[in-house]
Amino acid sequence: MGEKKVLIIAEAGVNHNGSLECAFKLADAAKAAGADCVKFQTFKSEALVSRYAGQAEYQKKNTVEEPQINMLKKLELGYDEFLKLKRYCDDIGICFISTPFDKESILFLESMDMPFWKIPSGEVTDLPYLMQIAVTGRPVIMSTGMCTMEEIEAAVRVLRSNGTVDIRLLHCNTEYPTPYEDVNLNVLKTLRDKFGCEVGYSDHTRGIEVPIAAVALGATVIEKHFTLDRNMEGPDHKASLEPDELKNMADSIRHIEKALGTAYKEPTESEKKNIAIARRSIVASRRIQKGEVLTEENITTKRPGSGISPMRWLQVLGTKAIRDFEEDELIEL
* Cis omega (within 30 of 0) for bond into 177: yes
Q: How many CB atoms lie within 10 A of CB 232?
A: 16
Do 95 and 143 fall into the same domain?
A: yes
pLDDT of residue 58: 61
Do 250 and 273 fall into the same domain?
A: no
Task: Report how far residue 146's alpha carbon sits from residue 267's, in angstroms, rounded to the nearest whole number.
Answer: 45
pLDDT of residue 115: 98
Do 275 and 200 fall into the same domain?
A: no
Task: Report how far residue 293's alpha carbon sits from residue 318's, in angstroms, rounded to the nearest whole number.
Answer: 6
Q: Which of 30, 36, 6, 65 is closest to 240 using CA atoms? A: 30
Task: Report how far residue 44's alpha carbon sits from residue 153's, in angstroms, rounded to the nearest whole number.
Answer: 29
Task: Report how far residue 214's alpha carbon sits from residue 169's, in angstroms, rounded to the nearest whole number.
Answer: 13
CA distances from 186 to 2, 172, 183, 220 (A): 23, 12, 9, 15
Do 231 and 284 fall into the same domain?
A: no
Do 211 and 286 fall into the same domain?
A: no
Whether 191 is in a domain gets the answer yes
Burial 150-172 (b: 16+ CB within 10 A, else e): eebebbbebbeeeebeebbbbbb
Query: To 10 degrees, what angle do helices 149-161 and 127-134 make?
Result: 40
Whether 323 is in a domain gets the answer no
pLDDT of residue 61: 65
Give me the residues of the chain with pLDDT under 50, please.
1-3
Q: What is the pTM of this model?
A: 0.88
Name the domain count of the chain: 2
Whether 333 is in a domain gets the answer no
Cα 113 vs. chain centroid, distance in angstroms?
Answer: 24
* Residue ranges making up the domain that contains 291: 269-316
Half-sphere exposure of 314 (CA within 13 A, CB side): 1
pLDDT of residue 134: 98
pLDDT of residue 99: 98
Whether 330 is in a domain gets the answer no
Give the DSSP H/E element, type plus range, for residue 276.
Answer: helix 275-278
3-class DSSP state of 212 = helix
Do 77 and 185 fall into the same domain?
A: yes
Whether 196 is in a domain gets the answer yes
DSSP summary character for residue 185:
T
Task: Report how far residue 149's alpha carbon sits from residue 93's, in angstroms, rounded to the nearest whole number.
Answer: 37
Looking at this protein, which amino acid is placed at residue 41? Q
Whether 68 is in a domain gets the answer yes
Task: Report how far residue 147's alpha carbon sits from residue 174's, in angstroms, rounded to the nearest whole number.
Answer: 10
User: CB under 8 Å to 175, separation ≥6 — which residues?
Assistant: 58, 182, 204
